[in-house]
Amino acid sequence: MSAAARAAFAALVAAACGGCSAPDEIVLAVSTDLALPKDFSTLQVQVFEGGTPKFSASYERLGESDAAARLPATIGFYSSSGGGDSIRIKVSARIQDELGPVRILREAVTRIPKNRIALLTLPLNFLCDDSGRSEGNGDVVNTVCPDGKTCVAGSCVSSAVDASALPDYAPGDVYGGGDGDGDGDCFDVTACFQGAAPAKPDAACSIAGEAGVPLNVALETAAGDGICGDGDRCLVALDAGGADGFRVQDDGRIQLPPAVCEQVTAGKITSVVTSPVTAACVQKAVGLPTCGPWSASGSAKP
């Protein structure tokens, strides 16, 4: 599944359009910081208008040679009635198939914009593990956040998204500068964190950094989640600057999501590590997917 996948709310038809465009459209981009199919193998996308189901699809065998989709995956939802439609989107990571256990749930309530194509990114990331539960009938319920909120970087935040604040859709902003056919860049987690240095978070869940010296940051997981290299070390790379990742303060110190320290205390994360940004390992960001057989961007494998 790539940027060519689109669904119209009036006609409820999903079709490949070979790069065509339509006004009044929102493009959903789904990414992950985990490894597929090891960590999950099915992506489920559900869309509701009011309380009415309008779209439901499951993309199975992720990471396999015959996968129904590669990540990041994009699908466009457009209006044939002038835009402004209010929709609720539920994206979940499942084990096995469309009725299998749910690891991660991400939700958004927004509107289809008018007279443009907007980009909505909903990543399925490690810090929101165990955030959803399967109801057995194909539906998913939130297990960590109350109604009106969704998990972002391990914390519950409002699921409401102002469509007017979303950026215009451009494939390169999702696929590492490419168009989703493997021609963009990707971030090689194993190579870029080889010899990475451990960093100790302080009481505010921040780690040392130096102003003007960019770093990459990753989480070493206890249960083997994430991208694993030699020596059985498995890492989850954090995005720089995004809501799901880390932020650099004025003095260069790196602020981690609070859930990182909570999961260090709980033993789910064994350590935080950093590595320098180089020409070969640029800083990991939202629009730069990880390399792997599951990836729609780049061809390197971890």
pLDDT along the chain (302 residues), means of 10: 46 34 83 97 94 93 93 90 86 92 97 93 98 87 96 98 96 94 92 94 95 95 93 92 94 96 97 96 96 84 44
Q: Quick one: pLDDT at residue 194?
A: 93
Sequence-distant (6+) residues with CB within 8 A of 26 are 76, 77, 78, 87, 110, 112, 113, 117, 118, 119, 120, 163, 166
pLDDT for 299: 56
In the three-class reduction of DSSP (H, G, I as helix; E, B as strand; rest coil), residue 259 is classed as helix
User: CA–CA separation, 248 vs 176, rounded Å?
Assistant: 22
What pLDDT does 19 receive? 43
Prediction pTM value: 0.89
DSSP state of 68: S
